[in-house]
A = this chain, B = another copy of it.
Amino acid sequence: MPKSGRNKVSSLQDLADLAGVSRATASRALNDNPIISARTRKKLQALARKHGYSINRQARDFRLRRTSVISVVFMLDVESQQHMSDPFFLDMLGGIADALADHDYDLLLAHAPIANILDVKESRVMRQSDGVIFIGQEQQLEQLNQLAEDGQLMVVWGYPVPDKKYVVVGGDNVGGGYKATKHLLEIGRRKIGFFGATNNPENAARHEGYLKALSEYNVDPDPTLKVDVPFEMLRAREAIIDMLDSQVELDAVVCISDVMALATMSTLQELGLRVPQDISVVGYDDITLAAYSSPQLTTVRQNIRHAGRILVESVLGLINGENVPDTMLSSELIIRNSCGAK
């Protein structure tokens, strides 16, 4: 059996004894402290490898009074108290997890269970981690601000609203809305609707980009073309039908999300309208299904995995006492069939 005395060396002391040095020397050697002679260092490192020993992080973190843990808090939708399970969150989580692993941090997952985030303040999430990443700020500006003022190291995925007191990483929502709309204008559309609730900062920004593009093309925004479909979308279909019933002209739609866009497309098709021939549709997020719908959905993609990495770099920067700026990640228009060829 090639197993050479395993399971024996379980502490620094064991290793030190084995090497005939003190615990202190062993500790320094494994941490590559130059105060220890190169020979001793190599020797101990080799020994550690041979016996499959590695430093007990729990003990180390305890001694060093840190946790090596970053909490990730998923905010709940204020109204529905529901998880905002946009499909892309899992990707973002993946990005975060990878980045944290690279930096030797752990990821503690939680979600704000109550409307009042502050209730989380005294919880493990806050007390037992070196920093917190909030996903989705929604309308909870006040409470997030308060946490930030209490000295919590935190980064929020969302949109930099004016009075925020924390670091924000977010997509270029204005740019995304702008690109989507501009493309529709370029291919000749003029009666462009905007579907989706704009009651949170990110969506409002997308709408702002929409308006910006319209104004560049000297198209007056038509308020009747804006449909404020709520998050749940249960009534997306009705809202769309209502609008079409009211005889407005419409030749394109910018949607707040892919889910909304897919619901829109199927509603339109149901009503006998052709996408994109009669009406162009553009979504937002580039979820997996976007590529498999019929027609395939033109949409705005945010590099969500990369966003996860940036979020991590940001908290870690905070932990290191750096001055961390907000980050805005660019969005990219993915042109597929649902908008019609240029």
Contact = CB atoms under 8 A, between A and B. Distances in A.
Nearest to A63: B62
Interface string A104-136: 001111110000000000101001100000000
A85 interface: yes
A17 to B, nearest CB: 20
B267 A288 contact: no
A59 interface: yes
A199 interface: no
Main DSSP-derived SS at the A contact region: helix
B90 A292 contact: no
A205 interface: no
Contacts of A58: 58, 61-62, 67, 128
Interface string A65-94: 001010000100000000101010111011
Interface string A260-297: 00110011011000000000000000001100111000
A83 B94 contact: yes
Contact of A294 (B67, B85, B93, B267): B267
A233 B292 contact: yes
A259 interface: yes
Number of copies: 2
A89 to B, nearest CB: 6
A248 interface: no
A147 to B, nearest CB: 16
Interface in A225-269: 233, 236-237, 259, 262-263, 266-267, 269
Interface in A291-324: 292-294
Nearest to A83: B94
A89 B88 CA distance: 11
B93 A109 contact: yes
Contacts of A85: 87, 90-91, 94, 288
Contacts of A83: 90-91, 94
7 contacts: A85-B288, A90-B90, A90-B93, A97-B111, A259-B292, A262-B293, A263-B293
Interface of A: 52, 54, 57-59, 61-62, 67, 69, 74, 83, 85, 87, 89-91, 93-94, 97, 101, 106-111, 122, 124, 127-128, 233, 236-237, 259, 262-263, 266-267, 269-270, 288-289, 292-294
Given A83-B91, A259-B292, A266-B293, 14 more contacts: A54-B122, A58-B128, A59-B62, A83-B90, A93-B93, A97-B111, A101-B110, A109-B109, A233-B292, A262-B292, A263-B294, A266-B292, A266-B294, A269-B269
